[in-house]
Amino acid sequence: MTTKTSLLKVILLGDGGVGKSSIMNRYVTNKFDAHLFHTIGVEFLNKELEVDGHQVTLQIWDTAGQERFRSLRTPFYRGSDCCLLTFSVDDNQSFLNLGNWKKEFIYYADVKEPEKFPFVVLGNKVDVTERQVSSEEARQWCQENGNFPYYETSAKDATNVAVAFEEAVRRVLALDERTDHLIPTDTVNLHRKPRSAATCCS
């Protein structure tokens, strides 16, 4: 039996200060720092995991959330397998901006079929008591915008962080399987060795 490891690129997007870097660090290193340095440009970390028997290397790309750094982060959108749209439940503006983040991603990642692309929405900082965004609002947004899975996370106390990433992986794998079954028959197999008929004729 062959063990195949697939590399999946997952990108974290959302307003500045919603906790994207903290979510990534919690998931990869299981650490939390309340005063983590803000991100300039992009950073990434790898994490290996197994989901439903599939060996996966998750490459998590963390981005700078401030509007001004758009041109530093958008070149890295291409080739993403999944996008984690992140907001903070104690910051209504970050929730209102989810749509803009989705739009920016689809535009710069050059997604061919946006309606099929796997997005996962994370409402972070559920450990904070003063919420500005209710679960209902968030779920409704997810439902209306493409039926995205929604997770309420806390990078601080690790609530739902791993679960959310695993769901992201599942979404990507499910999509892969579907396309695997849908290979049109009139394509050319690029991996097949051409017959060596065309030898040098004199």
Using CB under 8 A, list all residues that contact other proteins: 16-17, 34-38, 40, 64, 66, 68-72, 74-76, 78, 91, 93, 108, 193-194, 196-201
Within 13 Å and on the Cβ side, how many CA atoms surround 162? 11
In angstroms, what is the minimal distance from the CB of 41 to other proteins? Answer: 9
The residue (of 38 and 178) whose beta carbon lies closer to other proteins is: 38
How far is 78 from 176, CA to CA, in rounded Å? 17
In angstroms, what is the minimal distance from the CB of 177 to other proteins? Answer: 27
Judge whether 157 and 127 are in contact, CB under 8 Å.
yes
The residue (of 37 and 180) whose beta carbon lies closer to other proteins is: 37
Which residue is it, tokens 């690790």?
158
How far is 23 from 2, CA to CA, in rounded Å? 33
In angstroms, what is the minimal distance from the CB of 107 to other proteins? Answer: 9
In angstroms, what is the minimal distance from the CB of 125 to other proteins? Answer: 12
The residue (of 79 and 163) whose beta carbon lies closer to other proteins is: 79
The CA distances from residue 199 to 135, 189, 190, 191, 193, in Å, are: 67, 21, 20, 20, 14
The residue (of 31 and 116) whose beta carbon lies closer to other proteins is: 31
